[in-house]
Amino acid sequence: MGRPKKTLKAKEPIRIRERKLADGNRSLYLDMYSRGVRKVESLGLYIVPEKTHFDKVHNEHAWQVAQKIKSERILALQTYGIGQWEKIQQSFVPLTKFLEEYEQDSSGVSASTVRGRKYMRLRVEQYLRDIGRLQMSIMEVDVDVCRGFIKFLRMSKNERLKKTERNISNCSGLQIQTIFTGALNKALRDGIIEKNPMKQLSAKERFHRQESTREYLTIDELKSMIAISCEDETLKNAFLFSCFTGLRISDVRSLTWGKVLEFPNGNGQYLRVKMQKTQNFVNIPLSKDALKYMRQTDRPDEPVFKISPATSVITQKLQAWADKANVNKRISYHVSRHTFATMLLTVGVDIYTVSKLLGHTDISSTQIYAKIIDKKKVDAISKVDDFFDALEHVGKEMDNEN
């Protein structure tokens, strides 16, 4: 009877190896060989001489971690191939580290965007800490993790409101959800993940934009405020300027005469502004009404409006001014932007042009103002109905008298 055939053991593409160090410890690393290509990856794990029971426990843990990483790398190697090794390594970067790098990549984004990314990262870290998976790699983020994160957000407390136990608002949840989705989209573009698991959530599971009421001034209310003096005339001029340009206060603060340009045909002037919120450039023609509120200066780099108070003080001053003008509305500086949008739509400017003047990247943001104008039309028709109802009532009374 012949000798039994030897069973060929498949050669592992990745092996754990040791490198002896000068201090007597041994560092662990992965030695990978596939299709003629060799890669080496240090694991940052060390085997120490076993002098105590603690040393033995330490070494066992180090080997367990090394074996786990090895298994993950073999799976990734089968998925991507050795030629994509850099992306394989990126996919095993902790999610929190990836989000921190995403936050710090501030090129071409506004300061408010960076703050939003930081706020999102801190919420993700809190969620991962709660579920005991703070070291989760970006490759491990699946639809269940995303679903759990959205549920976590719905139950999260608003840490800014120390005196109450209110949950974060729908608006905050939507903002965090949008930024987190954007971070995973970047990972998808970079080839780190194969699909964005946030896109797999059902519509019912995700946060959605809610219908919002946007306060604005009617033309008559705006005339009333123009006619009344304000405690801070510089602030009054800046607010009215925004009513005729739609600029946010952040852009008004940074506005200089150097951003005011002449039209090529010589028929007027326009602003060329890079909006701080979106980092997009927008061109806004300057009407005579807008120009008369701009402070003249000889220096093109000097601010047109020197607005120094904090936002809370600005709101107080604007509200006092509105009350003095008998405008019974809650007024903040942003009301000027809403006023600009609704005025344009009221006089018949098309929604696409209004969207461009506001610097909106998505026309759905502008459609909110269109709904306001539609509501005004409905209210107008209702007043006509009331008028004819009143006439009919008067007619019946006259008939009865006759």
C-alpha closest to that of 121 among 201, 198, 186, 180:
180
SS3 state at 46: strand
Task: Provide the pLDDT for residue 123.
Answer: 95
Average pLDDT estimate for 374-395: 47
What distances in angstroms separate CA 91 from CA 79, 86, 88, one per listed residue?
Answer: 12, 9, 5
Confidence of residue 88 (pLDDT cuts 50, 70, 90): low
Helix axes 143-155, 111-130, angle to 10 degrees: 100
Query: What percent of the chain shows pLDDT beyond 70?
Result: 83
Task: Provide the pLDDT for residue 377.
Answer: 52
Q: What are the pLDDT digits (tens) for 202-217? A: 999 999 876 666 788 9
Task: Provide the pLDDT for residue 382.
Answer: 47
SS3 state at 272: strand
Task: Provide the pLDDT for residue 213.
Answer: 66
Tell me which long-range contacts 295-302 makes (C-beta under 8 A, separation of at least 24). 295/234, 295/237, 297/257, 299/257, 300/256, 300/257, 300/258, 301/256, 301/258, 302/256, 302/257
Report the chain's mean pLDDT, rounded to a whole number.
82
Contact between 318 and 333 (Cβ < 8 Å) = yes
Partner residues linked to 26 by β-bridges: 20, 47
pTM, 2 dp: 0.55
Task: Provide the pLDDT for residue 4.
Answer: 60
Average pLDDT estimate for 230-254: 92
